[in-house]
Amino acid sequence: MRKSIEAPSQHNAQIDRRNRSIAWFSLFSAWFLSVAFQGGTLHAFWAERGIVPGDAYQDWSILANVVGLVTAGLICTSPAFARRVMILSVAACLGAVVSLLLPLPAVWIPAMTLASFFGGMVIAAWAFDFKEYTPAGQRLSTAARAIMLSNLLMIAINSVTGRISSLAGFLLATAALAAAFLLVVDPRQRVVDVGVVDAPEPKLEARRRGIPSSQLKKSLLALYLFVVVLSVNSGLMYRIVLPAFGPFTFFQQFYWAIPYIAVIYLLFRLPERINKSYILYLAIVIVGLSFVLFFSLDRSLTSFLVINTLMLGAFGVCDLFWWTILGEMLTFTGRPAQIFGVGLSANVLGIGIGVIIGQFLPAGREGAQYPLIIALAVVMVTLMVLPLLYGRLASVVGDNDFVVGLNRDLARKAAADADDIRAKQQANPSSADAGAAMLQEQFERSGLTLRERQIAGLLQKGLTYQSIGQELGISENTVKSHIKSLYAKLRVSNKSEFIRQMRDILE
């Protein structure tokens, strides 16, 4: 009885920590987006005081954020140390904010560049919270809630800036940062170092879960390159598209991030049975379409609504995609800040490259075609490599919402292959017996248990999880658990690869 009471209380405590973690991260990110990371509130605050930071500050700020994300990934080796990094980095950001209230204009730009660096440290270190408090398979939910809440709070801050005053918006952003600091120093938010006083090496952690470390690194590298290339269009949006409609009216300030939030909410609420895999293809195409419309339409409010809705909505899909993939990858490493920090640095680096490209493109109508050519080239490249990326990711995070839909398609093809194998066996019974013996020998060499060998044999015949469970008198969840284990031992990631391996053995 006591155990049944303790289990729900531990579960509730975990949910409470998860909600607190999302809350403080969202408060911090709202400040970061509205102030430190090229925020509209910061620029309005400086404009009233005669400060024009220029392109150099923009470039250094982005670079500082990339360095902060990567640095935290390298130094945060345990939950306890990551928490110290988060506390000290948020405190450093508070110090940078306070410096803007002092009559010392010479320190304002360096202070905010440092704030961008420490902001990257905070975001990467949060990966320990992300991994610890959100079970694998549920990280899309946490990522979606954190992104939506961050952007809603950012809209509120920027709206106060535009409607009341830049000082009011700046103070509201500072209050959000202070609230984040109070939540992150709360002792209840401490990640308990149970069994991770010395965090396991990523290689050992991945091997323990049946994923070779090299496979994880190759998947992360493929995702990194994909995100860098696609994020170039985000940089072009910040540098070329949004300024073309400026200065923003209050309505534009309020509306511009709404499509981004709305699309993430829709993806968050979509039932699991709906295939999300092809939504990313559609989003990338829409990014290209929105750039075509930008160079075709005028600069009216109607054009802004059309272009902004398409562009920000598509980028919402892209951001949730890589946040979710990175979140699921944390399962296979003892150094989550490294995966998360390096992964998100790809997004910021791509934005920086796009911004710098925009700075060097000729202004005016004579250079109008160059951003369009670059944007469409980015779209074409990413569409061509996306199938390869999905194939690489399926070997690590095959159950992810954005990848599992393709695995369903692969499973249908695998079932067809299984039917072919079964038909050949029925046509030649003697070869079927020999083939079964070969398969059992392979299963034994791979270390499969008796139950796993039984399930593998039925799976090879094309039976569904439910049918296998009924055949063996076990639950469908138990079947899934055994199948994950046998996939790891056979070094395959999905049913398609399993059937292909069986066919190679039989042939």
- Regarding whether 186 and 73 lie in a shared domain, the answer is yes
Does residue 5 belong to any structural domain of this protein? no
pLDDT at 398: 65
Number of domains in the chain: 3
- Asked whether 490 and 498 are in contact (CB, 8 A), the reply is yes
| Between 251 and 127, residue with greater pLDDT | 127
- Regarding whether 225 and 170 lie in a shared domain, the answer is no
- Regarding whether 268 and 186 lie in a shared domain, the answer is no
Asked which of 356, 377, 396 is the last residue of a domain, the reply is: 396
**CB 414: neighbour CB atoms within 10 A?**
23
- Regarding whether 257 and 158 lie in a shared domain, the answer is no
DSSP 335: -
Does residue 315 belong to any structural domain of this protein? yes
Does residue 6 belong to any structural domain of this protein? no
- Regarding whether 123 and 53 lie in a shared domain, the answer is yes
455-493 per-position pLDDT tens digit: 888 887 777 777 788 778 787 777 877 887 788 788 776
The CA–CA distances, whole Å, from 442 to 35, 234, 436, 482 equal 59, 49, 10, 17
Does residue 118 belong to any structural domain of this protein? yes
Please give the residue range of the domain that contains residue 456: 406-506
**pLDDT of 430 over the 70 cut:** no
- Regarding whether 373 and 348 lie in a shared domain, the answer is yes
- Regarding whether 50 and 124 lie in a shared domain, the answer is yes
- Regarding whether 207 and 195 lie in a shared domain, the answer is no
| Between 463 and 413, residue with greater pLDDT | 463
14-70 per-position pLDDT tens digit: 778 888 999 999 999 999 999 988 788 888 888 888 887 877 888 899 999 999 999
Query: Which spans in 295-368 are helix H?
Result: 301-329, 336-360
Q: Render the burial of 198-217: b for 16+ CB within 10 Å, e for the rest.
A: ebeebeebbbeebbebebbe
- Regarding whether 387 and 465 lie in a shared domain, the answer is no
Whether the bond between 247 and the residue before it is cis, its omega within 30 degrees of 0, is yes
Asked which of 199, 224, 258 is the last residue of a domain, the reply is: 199
- Regarding whether 251 and 188 lie in a shared domain, the answer is no
- Asked whether 407 and 398 are in contact (CB, 8 A), the reply is yes
**pLDDT of 422 over the 60 cut:** no
Share of the chain above pLDDT 90, in %: 38
Please, which residues have CB within 8 angstroms of residue 445's CB and are 6 or more apart in sequence? none
pLDDT band at 506 (very low <50, low <70, confident <90, very high): low
CA atoms within 13 A on the CB side of 365: 2
Does residue 3 belong to any structural domain of this protein? no
- Regarding whether 104 and 133 lie in a shared domain, the answer is yes
- Regarding whether 245 and 115 lie in a shared domain, the answer is no
Indicate which CATH number applies to the domain containing 329: 1.20.1250.20
Determine the Cα–Cα distance for residues 85 and 124; give it in Å rounded to an integer: 10
Determine the Cα–Cα distance for residues 140 and 130; give it in Å rounded to an integer: 11
The CA–CA distances, whole Å, from 65 to 58, 81, 255, 368 equal 11, 20, 26, 30
Does residue 1 belong to any structural domain of this protein? no
Query: Which spans in 400-460 are helix H?
Result: 401-427, 429-445, 450-460
Does residue 158 belong to any structural domain of this protein? yes
Token duo for residue 186: 């709360």
- Asked whether 236 and 290 are in contact (CB, 8 A), the reply is no
Does residue 80 belong to any structural domain of this protein? yes
Determine the Cα–Cα distance for residues 37 and 99; give it in Å rounded to an integer: 17
**pLDDT of 199 over the 60 cut:** no
